[in-house]
Amino acid sequence: MIVDCHGHYTTAPQSLWDWRKRQAAGERPGPLKISDDQIRESLEGAQLKLQRSRGTDVTFSTPRASTMEHHVVVASISLEWTRLSNDLIHRCCSLYPKNFVPVCQLPQSPGVAPKESVGELLRCVKEMGFVGLNLNPDPSGGNWKDPPLTDRWWYPIYEMMVELDVPAMVHVSSSCNANFHATGAHYINADTTAFMQFLTSDLFKDFPALRFVIPHGGGAVPYHWGRYRGLAQDMKRPPLKELLLKNVYFDTCVYHQPGIDLMLKVIPPENILFASEMVGAVRGIDPETGQYYDDTKRYIQASSISAADKQKIFEGNARRVYPRWKPV
Ligand SMILES: [Zn+2]
């Protein structure tokens, strides 16, 4: 099987985004009306078509990351939006249980303790069969106002993640800071930042079973692996493999062959999960290859790693990291 652990429902019907716009403007838009046929239509021409044409089997599907927008509204409104977004993901996955597996967003807000998000995580996992979550390390949307992911501030979420045996993908939302383009800078910054936070802390001593997936190929981390190894050494920290690689994983949302090759060279295959983030940040075709940039399956297949390692990346690691996922 080929399991894509990172997909977003970016193609939801326009009425969803209209509803959100009104909600964020302070209106009370009333119940959202989207039919099952509208959901089918929104997926058939996009995520499902791409799954079929690329030959992937299942995608872990989350709400669109850029519209989590934790920084835009107060906590109670954010919670309402999050529940609605997660409910919609649940509907998509119920219509196509073989193709999509639900992963939730959380109702985070800048300055609001993460323990307030635990209820929604519990609801999604226990009541609706979600297998993981997206955790925003910067609910302020580019201003980084809350404590690092390694602070006890976040522990109530981690306690629940361990209890439920679900991993978190570290995933920011849109950027309200004009210095940081959302998908080109803010996302990659956050991936790199989270890794460095983990490196400097003993978080995984407190939570040996806690698991994070750092998306977008781990930001700058694989490329700068030597820097991180050296920093850990200078700080008298244990080697990275021992310190982090029982708990931290990277996805393959890297959109060119040399990037994937580098990642496969420096990160052990046990720590890499196949992903494309479709339909996501980069939607075009690479004129150098004639293929979609985000058709990442091609890069893995074209790499020189063994068939056994490819199997780990395409399927085996996802089964270990997301044990609540059971193929149907
Ligand atoms: Zn994403």
Summarize pLDDT for 70-113 with one digit per residue, the tens: 999 899 999 999 999 999 999 999 999 999 999 999 999 999 99
- Cα distance between residue 244 and residue 199, in whole Å: 7
Would the pLDDT of 214 be above 90? yes
Ligand 1 centroid to Cα of residue 278, in Å, is 8
pLDDT of residue 106: 98
> Is residue 277 annotated as part of the catalytic site, yes or no?
yes
Measured distance CA(312)–CA(274) in Å, rounded: 9
Residue range 213-235: mean pLDDT, rounded: 98
Q: Which pLDDT band holds residue 179 (cuts at 50, 70, 90)?
A: very high
Which residues are 251's β-sheet partners?
273
CA distance 71 to 186: 14
The per-residue pLDDT for 173 is: 97
Instruction: Give me the pLDDT at residue 92, please.
Output: 98
Q: How confident is the model at residue 280 (pLDDT cuts 50, 70, 90)?
A: confident
Cα angle at 301 between 295 and 302, to 5 degrees?
95
Whole-number pLDDT of residue 6: 98
- Average pLDDT score over residue span 306-310: 98
Residues facing residue 63 across a β-bridge: 9
CA–centroid distance, 161 to ligand 1, in Å, is 20
> For position 150, what pLDDT does the model report?
98
Residue 302 CB neighbours (<10 A): 10
Distance 235 CA to ligand 1 centre (A): 32
User: What is the reported pLDDT for 102?
Assistant: 98
Q: Do the strands 291-292 and 285-286 form a parallel or antiparallel pair, or are they unpaired?
A: antiparallel
Rounded average pLDDT over 286-294? 97
Q: How confident is the model at residue 269 (pLDDT cuts 50, 70, 90)?
A: very high
**pLDDT surpassing 90 at residue 153:** yes
Which strands form 272-273's sheet, in the order they lie side by side?
Answer: 3-9, 58-63, 100-104, 132-135, 168-170, 212-214, 248-251, 272-273
Q: 301 phi and psi, to 5 degrees?
A: -65, -35
Report CA(59)–ligand 1 centroid distance (Å).
12
185-209 average pLDDT score: 98
Taking a 5 Å cut-off on Cβ, the residues next to ion ligand 1 are: 65, 277
Nearest alpha carbon to residue 121 among 111, 141, 107, 110:
107
Q: What is the per-residue pLDDT for 215?
A: 98
Cα of 229 vs centre of ligand 1, distance in Å, is 26
Single-letter amino acid code for the residue at 120: E
Q: Which entry of 127, 242, 277, 288 is annotated as an active-site residue? A: 277
- In angstroms, what is the C-alpha Rg of the chain? 19
Beta strand pairing call for 132-135 and 168-170: parallel
Residue 43 confidence class, pLDDT cut points 50, 70, 90:
very high
Ligand 1 center–CA 282 separation, angstroms = 11
d(CA 172, CA 1): 28
CA of 11 to the centre of ligand 1 (A): 13
Compute CA distances 328 → 92, 96, 97, 325, whole Å. Answer: 15, 10, 7, 9
In this structure, of 28-32, 118-122, 154-158, 251-255, the range with the lowest mean pLDDT score is: 28-32
- Average model confidence (pLDDT) for the chain? 97
Average pLDDT rounded to a whole number, residues 1-25 = 97
**CA-wise closest residue to 52 among 99, 84, 97, 10:** 99
Average pLDDT over residues 26-44: 96
Cα-to-centroid distance, 82 and ligand 1 (Å)? 16
